[in-house]
Amino acid sequence: MLVLLLAAAGSVSAQGDAAAGKSKNAMCQGCHGIDGFRMAYPTVYSVPMLGGQSAAYIAAALKAYRSGDRINETMHAIAAGLTDQDIDDLAAYYSGDAK
């Protein structure tokens, strides 16, 4: 699954607006904006920081969560409400200097 996601990330071209992404990131910050934050559902794991990640990777990951190809109930619930433009905007924002 991870190999497929990484392959898809190379073929996704995010055409987002970083300023718009900044205004849409409130749901992301609750987990991804806290250094060392760990989720306890469905298992305990560290939540990755998003700032500086590749826009293509972020967009591919969010689309995979939205479709259910990548499994995490919390991320699926959040991504399900995102449009392609929302995803591209968030990817543009986090691929920049966002922390």
Domains and CATH numbers, the chain: 2-95 (1.10.760.10)
The closest alpha carbon to 9, from 63, 66, 49, 46, belongs to 63
User: What does the alpha-carbon distance between residue 94 and residue 34 come to, in Å, rounded to a whole number?
Assistant: 14
Phi, psi for 84 (deg, rounded to 5): -60, -40
Per-residue pLDDT tens digits for 5-59? 444 444 444 489 999 999 999 989 888 877 777 766 656 777 888 888 899 999 9
In single-letter form, the type of residue at position 71 comes to: I
Q: Please give the model's pTM, rounded to 2 decimal places.
A: 0.76
pLDDT at 91: 96
Structure tokens at 53: 């990640």
Per-residue pLDDT tens digits for 70-96? 998 889 999 999 999 999 999 999 998
